[in-house]
Structure 1
Amino acid sequence: MSTHNKFLSKIKVETSTEGFTLYYQQRLILRHTLQAPCLWIGTGIADIEMFRGNFSIKDKINEKIALTKTKVAQLPESWQIHFSRGESINATLLITTDDAGRLLLKLQNGVNSHNRIWLRLAANPDEHIYGCGEQFSYFDLRGKPFPLWTSEQGVGRNKNTYITWQADCKENAGGDYYWTFFPQPTFVSTQKYYCHVDNSCYMNFDFSAPEYHELALWEDNATLRFECADNYISLLEKLTALLGRQPELPDWVYDGVTLGIQGGTEVCQQKLDTMRDAGVKVNGIWAQDWSGIRMTSFGKRVMWNWKWNRDNYPQLDKRIQQWKKEGVQFLSYINPYVASDKDLCAEAAKRGYLAKDASGNDYLVEFGEFYGGVVDLTNPEAYDWFKDVIKKNMIMLGCGGWMADFGEYLPTDTYLHNGISAEIMHNAWPALWAKCNYEALQETGNLGEILFFMRAGYTGSQKYSTMMWAGDQNVDWSLDDGLASVVPAALSLAMTGYGLHHSDIGGYTTLFGMKRSKELLLRWCDFSAFTPMMRTHEGNRPGDNWQFDSDEETIAHFARMTTVFTTLKPYLRQAVAQNAATGLPVMRPLFLHYEDDARTYTLKYQYLLGQDLLVAPVHEQGRRDWSLYLPEDNWINVWTGETYQGGEITVDAPIGKPPVFYRASSEWASLFASLHHI
C-alpha cells in the first residue's frame, strides 16, 4: 500500500440515496441529506467601512442556495462530490489528503458569480470548541458565532456596558465579544481534531447549533485541513507542525520587567535608577516615543517616522550601549505605516512604495488627527525597503527589541501591488508584517537575541511573530476588556497554535473617565509575574494612571514580584523551549494535562503555567480571598505550603500573593517552594 493510500484508508465516505457521510479517523466530519444539506452557495456584496481600525461590516446577500443533490465519484487517490441544484447551480468538493496525510477538503463554486460559501460540519451537542485566534470574552466558543476579521479589539467589548456605549457613540469603537486583533480560522474540537481553513477572506464560524458548525466564507473557494490525535498535547504538536512555532525567547527576557517609559533619555535613566536602587529587577526600557511624539485629543501618540529622534533622546546611542553592559536592553516601537507629514512617507511615496486608491494616488489612512501612508508589503521592493528601515534605524542603533504594532488597519478599498483584493489580503496583512520583522532579525543574525512583540495576527503569525501581547485592555476590572480578559485571550491563542503571550501591566486604554488604580496595577503585576514576559505601559493618558513608580509601596511591590519572576527563570525557559520544539504553549488550559476532568473544559480565568504551576489571577476589585478549582492531584499553595488534593477551594489572596499552586511531584518543587521566602 502506498503512503498516500495508507492515509486515504483513514477516510471513509458512505453514500446513500439521500446523500453521503464523511468520516475521518472515526470522527464524523460531514453529513449531507436532502432534508439537511451541508453546503450552501450564493452571492453577496460586501459593505465594509473602516474608521480608525474599527470596522462596520455588512453583507447584502442576493441569494443563498442549498445544494441538495450530490453525486459521489471515487477516484484513485480521492473522492469527488458534485453538488447541484437544478442544471446551472453547482459546486465541487474534493476529498483527499495533503502531503503530510492530513484530511484535505477543497471546495470550488461552479459559477463565477457565486462568491459565498456556507459549509456545515457535523457536531455533537456536548462538544466544546476552542481557538479561532485570540478571543477575549469566551474560551469555549460553543453556542455563539465568531466573525473572523482582524480589527481593533474594541473599547469595552460588551454592548451592555456604559463604556462600550460611549465608545460606540464617539466613533463606533466600542466593539463586541468577537472583536479581536488576532482572528484565525482554526479551531480545536473535544472530538480531538482540529480544523484549519487556508483562506484569508472574511469568515464567520458559527458554533451555535447543537448538530453542526456552520463556516461561512466570503469567497468562491475554500480549503480545509483536519488532523486527529489521541490527546490534546499531540493534537497541538500536529497543529503547530502545520502552522509553525515561535523561536525561543532571548535569555534577557527572564531577567526582570521591561519598563514602559516615555519622555527622553534622562527620564529613562532616572526611572531606571529609581527602580533598580529599590531592588526591582529590570531587563529593559521600552520607549515607544523614541521617534518623537504627537499630541492628540486621544492622548500622547508616537510620531510615525521610524528613526531616532535626537532632540527627544539625546545621546541615546551611547546610553543604549551603557545600559546593555548593565544588563538592560533598549526597546523601541514601529508599525507598518508612515506619517504623511514626515520624510519616510515622502521617500516611500517617491519610490512608489505606498498602497494606492482607486485613482492611483497614494492611499492615506486617518489614524486619529493625522494621516499615514500604507507601506505596500506585497511590493517586494517596498517590503525590502521597510525591512532595511528596521535593520538600519533600529537594529544598528542597538535596540534589543520593539513593539511591532498595528497590522489590522488595511482598508479594503485600497489597491495593492500583487493585484489581490485588499478584502482578501486584509486578514493576511498582520502575518506579512510579522514576516518582515522576523526576516530583519534573521538576516542580521539576531533571532533569539532581539525580541519584537505584536498585537495583530493571523495564520502565519505562529511562524514569524516572536511574541504576542494582548493589545489595548481598559485600565479597569471589566471581564471583556480588563485584566480578566487576558487569560482567555492567552488560552485561545494557545489552542490556535501560538504559545507565547503577555499583556500591558495595568492595561492601556484610559478614556471616558477610566483611570488606572493602584490596586489594579498591583494585581496585574501579580498576574504578569506568572506569564512569559513582564512589561509595563503608561497608557494613552499617563497622567490619569497609577504608574510603577507612583509611590514607594508600588516600587517595593515590583521589586518583590520581579524577584518571583526571575526566580522562575529556569522553569519558564524550559516551558518556552517546549513551545519552540513541540508547540506546547507556555500558558495552558487545564484540560491539556487533566483531560478526564470535565470541569477543566469550562475554566477560562485560570491556567497552567507549564505543567506544574496552576495560576488563578484575582481579577475583581477589593477582593482579599479567591475561589478556584484544582483538578485531582497533590497541590501545594506556593505562599503557605498548605496541601490540597483537588476540588473547589477558597484561599486567602492578598495583593502580592495571587492564588498559585504547584504539583507536589514536580521536579521543580524545591524551586517553587523557595518563592515562599521572597
Structure 2
Amino acid sequence: MKMKKVFHMVIFLFLVSCGTEIKGEKVGNFTISEDGSIYFKDKKLLRIKKIFFSDYDLKIEENFIVGGFFKKSYTPKKKNEVNIKEKMSFSADGQKLFINTKTDGENSVELEIECDGKELFFGMGMWFDSSISNQKKRFIWVEEGHVGGDDDNPPFPDGEIKTYFPLPFFISNKNYGFLLKSFSPSVFDFCSEEKETLKIILFDSEFSAELYYAPHPLEIVSIYTERTGRPKPVPDWVFSAWIDAIGGSENVRKTAKLIREKGIRADVIWTEDWRGGKKIESLGIYTIGGGTKPSRELYPDFETLAAELKSMGFKFLGYFNSFVLEGDEGWDELIKNNALVKYENGEIVKVSVPESQTAGGVKAGILDLTNEFALNWMKLVMRSAEKYFDGWMADFGEWVPANSKLSDNSTGLKSHNKYPILWQKLQRDFWEEVRPNGDFVFFTRSGYIGTQSLSPVVWPGDQNTSWEKYDGLRSAVVAGISLSFTGVSLYGSDIAGYTSLISPSDKELYIRWTQFGAFSPVMRTHHGTNPDKNWRFDKDDETLALFKFYSEIHEKLKDYLKEYHQKAVEKGFPIIRHILLQNPEYEKFLQSDPECFETEYMLGDYILVAPVVEKGKRERNVFFPSGEWVDIFDSRVYRGPGFFKVQAPLWKIPAFFKKGSIAEKIFSGIYEKCGDYCKAER
C-alpha cells in the first residue's frame, strides 16, 4: 500500500515538472500561442488581443504663451486589423523577446493587450500622481510639468498630468517588462477606456518593442538598464548637501561663510544666476539672466569668488540651458550656420523663456543639437565656464515643437522626445573630455530612454512651494519613487519647491522637504521664484538647527549611498525603491492603504523612509516589510509585515533601519545630536 502511494506521488511530480506543453511558435525561451499569448517557458506573461495598422490625425501644438506646454489630440481616420502572425516578427535572446512590425503605409501601429483586473503596471518614467498607471492614460511626450493640482483643483493648463520625463516602459506584476523602442510620440492607455484592454498607440509606421522576463522586478530593471545603459560613477562630494546661493558675490560669500561657521555638512554651492538675475516687480518673481559669461553687475569678481569657494572646500556649480537669446553673443553665427531649430517653413523657432523676462522681453532660439556647429559652439561656451565650475544644472530640453525640422532632416514630431537625450549626451561628452577623472556632475529634469546612463542626477523640475497633491512636496516624493522603475540612481528635488506664484514656502513645508531631501540620494536647496518671501535654511534658529541636523544625517548616509550607487553602476538597481519593487510579495497589502505605498520607499535594502507630505500632520501610517525595523530617533522596534501609526512631530521624519543590518551603525547616537529642538512634540 505504501509503495503504491509512493509510485503515484512520483508520477504526479513527474507530470508537474514536465508541465503542459504550450502550443505555438517557439522563439528561444518564449512561445507565441495561437491566441496571441506570450509565454516564457511555461509562464504566461501577456496576450496580444489585436493589432491594427491605423491612420491617425495627430495634433501636437505648442503653447508658448505659458511656456513649454503642448495641446495634444489624436483621432483615428482608419483602423485596419491585421494578423499577428503575418505582420509581427519575433526573435529572442535569453530572457528578452524582440517584437517588430511595419505598417503597409499607415502612420500608426496600435496594440491591444489583455487586462485581467489583477495586473499592476508600474513605471512609465517620472510621474507626479502615482507610480502605478492602472486606469490611467499616459501620453509619451516630453514637456513642462503641469502647475498645481489636487483632488479638487485640476492641474494647469488643461487638467492633465504632464511630465518632463515620460518613458514608454512599464513593469508588470506578472514578471515582465515592456519597452517600446521609439522616440515618436505614443499613448499607453492602461485599461481606462476599456477595463479589459491595455491599448498602446505608436504614432509611427515602424514598431519595435522588447519584452523582458524575470522572476523579480529589480531583475527586470537590471535587464532594462543592460539594454539602455546604466548609471556612471560620480565623485564622493555629490553625496554631500548642495546649498543654493544667489544674488551676487557678497551674498554667495555670506552663505558659504555661514555654512562653515555653523558646521552645516555641505560641500557644494550652486549659483543659478551667475549669468545675471532680476526681480520682476509686476510678477513678484526673480528671473535669471542669459548669455555666455558671468554677470559683472551681480558678480564683478566672479573669478575671485570661484577661487575663494574652492579654497573653503566647496565644489561650485552653475547653470546652463539650450536657449540662446536673440541678439546675444553667438546669435548671428548660429543663424548663419543653421544651428537653431526652425519650423518646417524655415522660420526660426523663437520662444519666451525665463531669461526673456530679465532681458526685457527678448525671445530666444533653441539650439539645434543635430547640428555640428551648434554642438561645438555650446562646447566652447561651456569650456570657458568649466574653469570655475565643477558642474551645473543642465536645464530644459522639452520645447522643440512638433512642426519643426532639424538639421539632420528629422521632424520635430520624431525628434522632440530625443532632444533631452541629445542635450544630456552633449553634457556627458563635454565633461568626460575636459574632466576624464570624473570629477564633475550635472543634473537634468527632462528625460527619455537612456537618461539614467547619461545624466548623473535627475531632479523633478518645478514643483510649487506648496502641499498640493500633484505639484507640491508629495509630488516630489512620488516622482522619485516612480523613477525607481527606470533605473535612475541619483535623484533629488528642490528644497522646498520652486514655483512661488501664489504661496511662498513656509517653515513647516521647508522642514518637511529638508527631511525628504536628507533621505534622498541628492540633498539640494533652491531659492524658488520668490526668494524674498520663500523660507530659507537660515530663516530662524530652529530651522537652521534642524537643517544642520539633517545635513549631518545625509553626511552619515554618504558611504551607504555610495555603496548602493555602485550597485546601480554594476546592476542597474536604483537607490530609491518602491516597496513593491523591493518586495513584490507585499502586493496583498496595497489596497489596505494605497497612499502609504505611494509615499514611502526603501533607500537601498535596509532603510525605510516615510516622509510626511501633508500640512499639519504629526503622524502617518507606515507599512513595514518583514523583520524588525528600528526607529532611527527613539529606537522603537516595529515588526513587519504590517501597518503601524508612527508619531512624527515637526522635527522628525519617520525613518527606520533593519535591525542587524549594515545600516544600524549609521544612526548610532543620532538623536543626541539634534538638541533641544528634537524634544518639541508639536
Q: Taking structure 1 as the reference length, what is the TM-score of the superposition?
A: 0.89
Counterpart position of 1:206: 189
8 Å contact from structure 1 (residues 155, 175) kept in 2: no
Counterpart position of 2:289: 303
Q: Tell me which amino acid in the other structure corresponds to 1:351.
A: N
Q: Tell me which amino acid in the other structure corresponds to 2:31.
A: K
**Matched length:** 631
Within-5 A mapping of 1:196-345: 196-208=179-191, 209-255=194-240, 257-296=241-280, 298=283, 299-345=285-331
8 Å contact from structure 2 (residues 256, 309) kept in 1: no
Matched, 1:430 2:416: no
C-alpha separation in 2, matches of 1:439 and 1:142: 38
Q: Tell me which amino acid in the other structure corresponds to 2:384.
A: N
Report how far residue 600 of structure 1 moved: 6.0
Matched, 1:671 2:656: no
CA RMSD in angstroms comes to 2.1
Give per-residue Cα distances to partners, 1:10-68, cap 9 Å, x unaligned: 121333xxx54433444545646xxx53435233242423321011112243223333x
Counterpart position of 2:19: none
Report how far residue 9 of structure 1 moved: 2.6
Matched, 1:10 2:29: yes
Report how far residue 175 of structure 1 moved: 5.0
Report how far residue 534 of structure 1 moved: 1.1
8 Å contact from structure 2 (residues 341, 400) kept in 1: no
Q: Tell me which amino acid in the other structure corresponds to 1:572.
A: L
Counterpart position of 1:471: 461
Report how far residue 293 of structure 1 moved: 2.1
Q: Tell me which amino acid in the other structure corresponds to 2:63.
A: M
Matched, 1:62 2:62: no
For structure 2, the residue ranges without an aligned partner over 5 or more in a row are: 1-24, 355-360, 674-682
Distance 1:30 1:657, change over 3 A: closer
8 Å contact from structure 1 (residues 103, 226) kept in 2: yes
8 Å contact from structure 1 (residues 40, 119) kept in 2: no
Please state whether the residue corresponding to 2:414 is helix, strand or coil. helix
Identity, % of aligned pairs?
A: 29
Please state whether the residue corresponding to 2:234 is helix, strand or coil. coil
Report which stretch shifted further, 150-159 or 334-343. Answer: 150-159
Report how far residue 349 of structure 1 moved: 2.1
Please state whether the residue corresponding to 1:283 is helix, strand or coil. strand
Report which stretch shifted further, 578-587 or 590-599. Answer: 590-599
Counterpart position of 2:350: 364
8 Å contact from structure 1 (residues 355, 374) kept in 2: yes
Distance 1:320 1:26, change over 3 A: farther
Report which stretch shifted further, 618-627 or 260-269. Answer: 618-627
Please state whether the residue corresponding to 1:632 is helix, strand or coil. strand
Counterpart position of 2:13: none
Q: Tell me which amino acid in the other structure corresponds to 1:313.
A: Y
C-alpha separation in 2, matches of 1:405 and 1:617: 27
Matched, 1:151 2:143: yes
Q: Tell me which amino acid in the other structure corresponds to 1:611.
A: D
Distance 1:158 1:667, change over 3 A: closer
Matched, 1:488 2:478: yes
Give per-residue Cα distances to partners, 1:381-419, cap 9 Å, x unaligned: 3222212322x22212x2122100000011112220011
* Residue from 599, 609, 614 that aligns with 2:608: 614
Counterpart position of 1:22: 38
8 Å contact from structure 2 (residues 607, 663) kept in 1: no
8 Å contact from structure 1 (residues 305, 344) kept in 2: no
Distance 1:441 1:599, change over 3 A: farther
Give per-residue Cα distances to partners, 1:447-485, cap 9 Å, x unaligned: 631110001011121221110001111111111111111
* Residue from 537, 540, 544 that aligns with 1:555: 544
* Residue from 82, 88, 100 that aligns with 1:106: 100
Counterpart position of 2:534: 545
Distance 1:30 1:567, change over 3 A: closer
8 Å contact from structure 1 (residues 181, 456) kept in 2: yes
* Residue from 384, 389, 395 that aligns with 2:386: 395
8 Å contact from structure 1 (residues 279, 556) kept in 2: no
8 Å contact from structure 2 (residues 632, 656) kept in 1: yes
Give per-residue Cα distances to partners, 1:167-204, cap 9 Å, x unaligned: x4xxx3x6523x10000101111111111111111111
Distance 1:339 1:25, change over 3 A: farther
8 Å contact from structure 1 (residues 638, 675) kept in 2: yes
8 Å contact from structure 1 (residues 186, 196) kept in 2: yes
* Residue from 53, 59, 65 that aligns with 1:46: 59
8 Å contact from structure 1 (residues 38, 121) kept in 2: no
Report how far residue 261 of structure 1 moved: 1.6
